[in-house]
Amino acid sequence: MPQIQCLPPHVADLIAAGEVVERPASVMKELLENAIDAGASAVAAEIEHGGLTYIRITDNGCGIAAEQLPTAFLRHATSKLRAAADLAAIGTLGFRGEALAAIAAVSRVDIFSRAVGADMGASLHLEGGVPGGTEPTGCPEGTTICVRDLFYNTPARMKFMKKDSAEGAAVAGVVQHLALSHPDVSFKLLRDGQEVFHTPGDGQLLSAVYAAMGRDFALSLLPISGSGGDVRVEGFVTQPLSGHGSRGKQVFFVNGRFVKSQLLTAALEEAYKNQLLKGRFPGCVLHVTLPAGMVDVNVHPAKTVVKFVSDKAVFDAVYYTVLDALNAEKTPKKAGNEPEFFRKMTAQEFKARTAPAVEEKKPLGSFSGRPVAPATKNLVRDSVPAMAQRSHSAETVYVRDVAAEDKPIVTASPLTGRTYEITPPEKTAPSRPRPEAPRGEAPVQEALDMPAEPMQQTMEPVREAPWRMVGEVLKTYIICEDDQDTVWLIDKHAAHERLRFDALKANTQPLMAQPLLTPVTVELEPESYAAVLENLTLLQEFGFLCEDFGGGTVLIREVPSDILAADAASTLEELAQKLALGRTDPAAARDELLHTMACKSAIKAGMTNDAAELAALVEKVQSGEILYCPHGRPVKYKLSKYDIEKMFKRA
């Protein structure tokens, strides 16, 4: 029978270490929290090789008395928690009393500390948790801890470490979050000798945001402040025009603790409903404060999960506070403001305002289809010259004149540069002389068909094509009728997205890339940044040529030829987030990337497209090749003649 034995202390320490110390970022988090708990007003963190070989943290906090130094490294040694009852009101950040012991167990540690008011400091070296002797040392008040060769004695754990870049980015994320939750403390982060950021510690959240998340982001923010019941909400949200391609710039804190919460994300995004373009996400740095009894932060010590006693109270407080701020922004405060301007904008105006216009648009009407005024009655008369009033208004509706040409039409989309070849339905009866027919030799029948009064001709469309594109409404839905007396509404974006997705999925070659005139820089969240750096080759296969620009920024030099330069940054942001999320399942991640690429390269609702392009889409949809968009939404809606007759009470 096996003997029951107590584990030797260093084995127990190693097991405990596994729970507390997962990667360099967790070491950083514990040590920074200790520094904050020690009342430091300035903390400098330094890492090398993603923190795997070297982490050093210096604070100007209360310090540790020389005789207490070895005690601090004992398991369950803490100055912060005395009884189980204290768990209910955890004021300090760390409270388990095992961080230092756990970190020391899996690394080589040097600590230098001088307690406030003490004449001398002291130092201690620990190797795999085993302390040497305490030595008197001259050092400033405060504490410096240096952690070298993390996991040197636990090779199994070492195997789980990602590349230095990924670990370093995770460390940067931790420092960033602590800097944002403690604007009154100055945080400096150095990575491989280079300063990543340095917050002033002036107590202003915006200063911390500016320093830790970048200038562009900070300048795009609106302050918000409000409360609902006991729930207080404070911080900054992005203006609707500054939406991001991913949720990476949403940072939430609950009672000072960084959390990831679907509830908070949902409350934030609900407030932006109808104010942000689809596929764009608001960013924020939000502090939610509520009584300790209304939230359980102890769901898991190392995880960033919280449970609220009342989800609704928290949701409402965040939702209404954000909504109020957005509404206040829309109300004109002084003459010259544009109230509600973002509501009125079309997708094109949005693009024009927010992105550098690098692609030249083809002039409207330079294709075979003809723009006509959008009066409803015109939609059914697609071959009436009199109807072909040129209209360049935003409401222009393109109607394809199927009879105007009998050669394949090769047309390039003004928006995407893609070319389409459209062959008009062969059996379509020409309704006017063919362009290449010699003068005076137009077939008699056709000459006779030329209407004296244009209206009459369209009353009896002579047509045997299986379908006819009638036009487009709301710049989103193509109307089409088939020879079975059925009317179809086709969602052009959904249909094109599916087409792009299938094509991308079938494609085995790297995508065609186009160099950008000016490379675009993208500030990424640490996790996304790391994901991009890890996947530079994969991204290149997808047509994105990127380079590390340092400090969380990536430079995009080339984008796939069917992605607008203006969409380069948001597309990469979205790809990076999917890569960061999909680390565990590369195949699923690939499909996710294809979704993004398909969505970004597809024509969008609100865009003006040429008729030939739309007709090509209709062809794919009507042939049954496309049924659903890659997200599973239908691409077409059927209205039978009977449905319509019922609407008019004819049937």
Which of 42, 77, 218, 644 forms a contact with ligand ADP (CB under 6 A)?
77
- Minimum CB distance to ligand ADP smaller for 59 or for 401: 59
Which of 24, 50, 94, 235 forms a contact with ligand ADP (CB under 6 A)?
94
> CB of 98: closest distance to Mg ion in angstroms?
8
Contact region with ligand ADP (CB under 6 A), list: 44-52, 55-63, 487-495, 562-570 = 55-63
267 binds, among Mg ion, ligand ADP, none (CB under 5 to 8 A by kind): none
Give the whole-angstrom CA distance, residue 538 versus residue 147: 34
- Is residue 143 near Mg ion by the rule CB under 5 A? no
Residue 347: DSSP 8-state: H
> CB of 300: closest distance to Mg ion in angstroms?
16
> CB of 131: closest distance to ligand ADP in angstroms?
14
Q: What are phi and psi of 210, to 5 degrees?
A: -55, -45
32 binds, among Mg ion, ligand ADP, none (CB under 5 to 8 A by kind): none
> CB of 38: closest distance to Mg ion in angstroms?
10
- Is residue 62 near ligand ADP by the rule CB under 6 A? yes
Instruction: Identify how many contiguous H helices and E strands the chain contains and give both numbers.
Output: 21, 27
Which of 17, 35, 276, 478 forms a contact with ligand ADP (CB under 6 A)?
35
> CB of 167: closest distance to ligand ADP in angstroms?
21
Continuous segment of H or E residues that includes residue 599? helix 586-601
The Cβ of residue 517 has, within 10 Å, a number of other Cβ atoms equal to 9
- Is residue 109 near ligand ADP by the rule CB under 6 A? no
The site string for ligand ADP over 142-171 (x = CB under 6 A, - otherwise) reads: -x----------------------------
Residue 191 makes CB contacts below 8 A (sequence gap 6+) with 46, 47, 48, 168, 171, 172
Distances (CA, A) of 532 to 166, 212, 320, 577, 601: 9, 19, 35, 9, 20
Sheet holding 545-550, edge to edge: 513-523, 553-560, 545-550
> CB of 123: closest distance to ligand ADP in angstroms?
14
Contact region with Mg ion (CB under 5 A), list: 28-36, 295-303, 344-352, 504-512 = 28-36
Contact 644, 510 (CB under 8 A): no
- Is residue 321 near ligand ADP by the rule CB under 6 A? no
Residue 549 makes CB contacts below 8 A (sequence gap 6+) with 521, 555
Residues within window 75-94 making contact with Mg ion, judged by CB under 5 A: 94
Contact 399, 611 (CB under 8 A): yes
- Is residue 98 near ligand ADP by the rule CB under 6 A? yes
- Is residue 61 near ligand ADP by the rule CB under 6 A? yes
Which of 18, 70, 97, 365 forms a contact with ligand ADP (CB under 6 A)?
97
> CB of 55: closest distance to ligand ADP in angstroms?
13
Give the whole-angstrom CA distance, residue 33 versus residue 41: 12
- Is residue 245 near ligand ADP by the rule CB under 6 A? no
Which of 23, 49, 56, 96 forms a contact with ligand ADP (CB under 6 A)?
96
Residue 61 makes CB contacts below 8 A (sequence gap 6+) with 35, 36, 37, 38, 39, 40, 142, 143
**Applying CB under 6 A, what is the total number of residues that bind ligand ADP?**
23
Give the number of C-alpha atoms closer than 13 A to the C-alpha of residue 348, restricted to the C-beta side.
13
Angle, helices 492-506/611-622, rounded to nearest 10 degrees: 70
Which of 100, 276, 345, 568 forms a contact with ligand ADP (CB under 6 A)?
100
Contact 268, 284 (CB under 8 A): yes
**Which residues make up the interface to Mg ion (CB under 5 A)?**
34, 94, 99
**Which residues make up the interface to ligand ADP (CB under 6 A)?**
30, 34-35, 38, 59, 61-64, 72, 77-80, 94-101, 143
